[in-house]
């Protein structure tokens, strides 16, 4: 698995050779060898020599990294919201500053920042760490920030039957800070408001105060 295929040092007739000839099954849904081949191609394409010492392990390393960064594609973030408990609490619950890393699907460059999730329970309450897991699951796939924001809100709306949900995400996009327009420090803010947070201005301003009030 770790050797990069065709020209690896194996001898014919060995059991390993036969195993090697078979297309490797995806690990956790991610085909590491395929990524390795692609990264090797990219290195060639930019004019590098993928066989020089410093780069020899790079394709395998990048493959393992992508398996981690895109691991969310192979899990359903809903499962974290299905372990709710029933609670009469009907005031705002807010978890603020949930940090995340994601990957911009337009450039395959990381964007990273913080998510703030507030909701008005409709009887179902979920453990606070579960919200962080939802953010993680949604973030670890090729993403755009707007969709990510909307998706988290929709998951809470559907699974917890909330009376309202507010998701605000702030992120720095490396595709904007290290290339293209090169504007370091620029932060992109997106929000998705549902239910009471959308329809009642007082509820909306309450959540915005809770998120931004003392800073």
Residue number, 109 or 132, with CB nearest to Zn ion:
109
| Nearest to 111, CA basis, from 43, 155, 169, 44 | 169
- Confirm or reject binding of residue 112 to Zn ion (CB under 5 A): no
Q: Which stretch binds Zn ion (CB under 5 A): 12-20, 168-176, 185-193, 201-209?
A: 168-176
Classify 13 in phi/psi space as left (phi over 0), alpha (psi -120 to 50) or beta.
left
Binding to Zn ion in span 61-90, by CB under 5 A:
none
Cβ closest to Zn ion, residue 4 vs residue 149: 149
Tell me the backbone φ, ψ of residue 84, rounded to 5 degrees: -95, 165
Grouping H, G, I as helix, E, B as strand and the rest as coil, residue 7 is coil
Q: Rule CB under 5 A: say whether 183 interacts with Zn ion.
A: no
Residue tagged 């699974």 (tokens): 159
Q: What is the CA radius of gyration of the chain?
A: 22
Q: Answer whether 98's CB lies under 8 Å from 135's CB.
A: yes
Task: Please tell me whether residue 103 binds Zn ion under the rule CB under 5 A.
Answer: no
Catalytic: 145?
yes
The answer to whether residue 106 forms part of the interface with Zn ion (CB under 5 A) is yes
Active site residues: 104-107, 145, 173, 175
Binding site for Zn ion (CB under 5 A): 104, 106-107, 175
């Amino acid at each position: 698995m770790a050797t990069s295929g065709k020209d690896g040092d194996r001898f014919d007739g060995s059991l390993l050779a036969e195993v090697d000839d078979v297309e490797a099954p995806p690990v956790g849904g991610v085909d590491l060898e395929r990524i390795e081949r692609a990264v090797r191609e990219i290195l060639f394409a930019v004019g590098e020599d993928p066989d020089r010492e410093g780069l020899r392990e790079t394709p395998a390393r990048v493959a393992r990294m992508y398996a981690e960064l895109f691991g969310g594609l192979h899990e359903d973030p809903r499962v974290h919201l299905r372990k709710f408990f029933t609670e009469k609490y009907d005031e705002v619950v807010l978890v603020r500053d949930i940090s995340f890393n994601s990957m911009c699907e337009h450039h395959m460059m990381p964007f990273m920042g913080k998510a703030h999730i507030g909701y008005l329970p409709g009887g179902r309450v979920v453990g606070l760490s579960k919200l962080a897991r939802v953010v993680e699951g949604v973030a670890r796939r090729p993403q755009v920030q707007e969709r990510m924001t909307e998706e988290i809100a929709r998951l809470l709306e559907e699974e917890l039957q909330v009376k309202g949900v507010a998701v605000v995400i702030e992120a720095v996009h490396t595709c904007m800070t290290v290339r293209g327009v090169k504007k370091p420090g620029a932060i992109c803010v997106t929000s998705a408001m549902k239910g009471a947070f959308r329809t009642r201005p007082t509820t909306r301003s309450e959540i915005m105060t809770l998120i931004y009030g003392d800073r």
